[in-house]
Amino acid sequence: MSPQRFESLLVAPDTSLLQAMSRLDATAQGVLLVVDASRRLLRTITDGDLRRATLAGASPRAALGSLPGGPAQTVGLGASMHDVLQLMDARRIDHVPVLDDDGRVVDLVTRRELSRRTYLSAPHLGDDEASLVREAFESNWIAPLGPHVDAFERELADYVGVGHAAATSSGTAALHLGLRLLGVGPGDAVLCSSLTFVASANPIRQLGAVPVFVDSEPEGWSMSPEALRTALSQLGAEGLRPKAAVVVNLYGQSARMDELIPLLDEAGVPMLEDAAESLGATLGGRASGSFGRLALFSFNGNKIITTSGGGMLVGEDPGLIAHARKLSTQAREPARHYEHVEDGYNYRLSNVLAGIGRGQLRVLDQRVRRRREIFAFYARELAAVQGLRWMVEPQGHVGTRWLSAFTLDLPEASRRRDALLDFLERHNVEARPVWKPMHLQPLYAGSRYFPHAPGEDVSRALFEGGVCLPSGSNMDDTQLAHVCELLLRGLQLVAGGSR
Ligand SMILES: *Cc1c(COP(=O)(O)O)cnc(C)c1O
């Protein structure tokens, strides 16, 4: 429901039954909200109320305020969707007005909305996945190795334009292997983007190394070249050379590799490119995931394509990728018996899941187009909203808009962000805060952190005011329009300062 449509549901108590009927007809929500001059809710009026009043002999000229009936069932701004649904079921009603602390009506939840959830980023299968999986079944390649794994590796490497790829059971597993292959071990310092999912940092710690977190740049949100320069020169001055740098491509867009790579090269620090969120993006025409000495992708359920769970480590060095395959299959030596020299893992992708991955890869470009379209829709519909700043796609970048994300550029941003997320959740729409930076996580308390500029903590600000919107490629235009209308109303509500 758009802000205008919501306003048109509000009527004064001196409205006549006749006027109310025609307003109900025009607004088609099945309910009107009778409010006093300061928008305090007096009662609700449904079709049924009007019918009953007419049958009981009320004049069409009678005022709504004179009709019998108790106060409306309402909830406060703290109510969740489940609270609302419970109230609807208990009272057999289909509409629940939401009141602020002063009793003013600020929102209305309808049962229709609650029947269909809008997800942040749901899996979206194409036409070929089922038959590719069936192929695996029919050929009995259910083992963790098989023809789909080899083909998926080759097809993904071709898509990204890199020489070699090793399929893994998750993106996190690929990250862990990548760090191992770059020689990261106990006591090593490893640079890492702070604004990311925790999986980017955990393998560093699990290898006994020490993460050093680097801030974001304010436009594209990935690693700040300024912060990296400061980090490298500060660590250099202390005689510390980081063993590797985990550079994360955030929300479907490459980091500023053109500026980051020369800095890392000069310092002799190899890059592990965390492209878990950026498959399908390019920078200067080059695919995301082709910049690092090694790079990884994720095929988790919410990523742009999915195998339900899976990952891939890619790179130009055939020795490194062959070593990754060995480590991911328990590091078995080439011998008839089980011979082990190195410490290995069970990290290989199964042949069944690789079949799904091959089908998904065939529709990847369509998925990218749809996600970009969704972003363009949001940006157009919300263009007039003050205090809202989208993640920027810098010159030369073509991202996937895996998640459409903005920050609230308003005072007390985090309170407003939470109120907006509560509002959306009450309407059965899944949105999320931007990643909470690693340097603010209790797990990484005490870790070193290099901000974008002295006293300017960009990733913290992005977290505090940041919102990721539903962006799944299988959202239809009706859902998208619904989310936009909710956003217009929700943003108005939270920008006004009422809670
Ligand atoms: C999803 C994700 C990962 C982890 O991938 P999994 O397949 O879930 O293990 C790593 N880094 C980033 C930035 C991610 O978004």
Pocket of ligand 1 contains residue 248 by CB under 6 Å:
yes
- Would you place residue 497 in the very low, low, confident or very high pLDDT band (cuts 50, 70, 90)? low
Q: Which atom of ligand 1 is nearest to the CA of 196?
A: 13
The reported pLDDT for the residue numbered 137 is 86
**Model confidence band, residue 145 (pLDDT cutoffs 50, 70, 90):** confident
pTM of the predicted protein model: 0.94
Radius of gyration of the chain (CA): 27
Residue 431 pLDDT greater than 90, yes or no: yes
Best of 193, 195, 200, 305 for a ligand 1 pocket test (most atoms within 8 Å of beta carbon): 200
| Distance between CA atoms of residues 413 and 61, nearest Å | 48
CA of 298 to the centre of ligand 1 (A): 6
Name residue 275's amino acid.
Answer: A
DSSP string covering 83-120: HHHHHHHHHT-SEEEEE-TTSBEEEEEEHHHHTSPBPS
Is beta strand 31-35 parallel, antiparallel or unpaired with respect to 10-11? parallel
Query: Whose Cα sits closest to atom 6 in ligand 1?
Result: 171
**If you measure from the C-alpha of residue 240 to the centroid of ligand 1, how many angstroms do you get, rounded to a whole number?**
28
- For ligand 1, the distance from its centroid to the CA atom of residue 460, given in whole angstroms, is 20
Give pLDDT, residue 138.
86
d(CA 469, ligand 1 centre) in Å: 18
Q: pLDDT confidence of 94, banded at 50, 70, 90? A: very high
Any alpha helices (H) in 186-251, and if so which ranges?
202-206, 225-237
pLDDT at 255: 98
Where are the CATH 3.10.580.10 domain residues in the chain?
Answer: 3-110
Percent of the chain with pLDDT over 90: 93
The lowest-confidence range among 60-69, 337-346, 398-407 is: 60-69
Q: Can you name the residues that pair with 95 across neighbouring β-strands?
A: 110
Q: What spacing in Å lies between the alpha carbon of 312 and ligand 1's midpoint?
A: 11
Query: Which atom of ligand 1 is nearest the CA belonging to 298?
Result: 7
- Residue 353, pLDDT score: 95
Contact by Cβ (8 Å): 388, 382: yes
- In the chain, ranges of CATH 3.40.640.10 domains: 129-361
Averaged pLDDT score across all residues of the chain = 95
Ligand 1 neighbourhood includes 252 CB (under 6 angstroms): no
- What would the two tokens of residue 155 be? 């097809």
300: Cβ below 6 Å to ligand 1?
Answer: yes
Q: Is the pLDDT of residue 385 over 60?
A: yes
- Ligand 1 neighbour 172 (Cβ under 6 A): yes
Which residue, by CA, sits nearest to atom 14 of ligand 1?
Answer: 276
State whether the beta carbon of 197 lies less than 6 angstroms from ligand 1.
Answer: yes
Residue pLDDT, tens place only, 168-227:
999 999 999 999 999 999 999 999 999 999 999 999 999 999 999 999 999 999 999 999
* Annotation: CATH topology of 129-361: Aspartate Aminotransferase; domain 2 (3.40.640)
Give span(s): CATH 3.90.1150.10, the chain. Answer: 364-494
Q: Is the pLDDT of residue 332 over 70?
A: yes
Q: Is the CB of 274 under 6 A from ligand 1?
A: yes
Closest to 395 measured CA to CA, from 283, 307, 260: 283
The pair of three-digit structure tokens given for residue 224, joined into one six-digit string: 């700040």
Residue 217 CB less than 6 A away from ligand 1: no
CATH superfamily of 364-494: Aspartate Aminotransferase, domain 1 (3.90.1150.10)
Ligand 1 centroid distance, CA of 275 (Å): 9
Question: Which residue from 198, 221, 277 has its CB within 8 A of the most atoms of ligand 1, so it is best to mutate?
Answer: 277
Top CATH class of 3-110 equals alpha beta
Rounded CA gap, 447 and 449, in Å?
Answer: 6
Distance in angstroms between the alpha carbons of the first and the last residue of the chain = 20
Q: pLDDT per residue over 249-297, tens digit each? A: 999 999 999 999 999 999 999 999 999 999 999 999 999 999 999 999 9
Given a cut of 80, is residue 499 above it in pLDDT? Answer: no
pLDDT, tens digit (0-9, with 9 covering 90-100), for 23-72 = 999 999 999 999 999 999 999 999 999 999 999 999 999 999 898 877 78
Percent of residues, the chain, with pLDDT higher than 70: 99
Cα–Cα distances in angstroms (integers) from residue 353 to residues 169, 279, 298, 438, in the given order: 9, 18, 13, 31
Assess whether the C-beta atom of 171 lies below 6 angstroms from ligand 1.
yes
Q: Is the pLDDT of residue 441 over 60?
A: yes
User: Is the C-beta atom of 152 inside 6 A of ligand 1?
Assistant: no
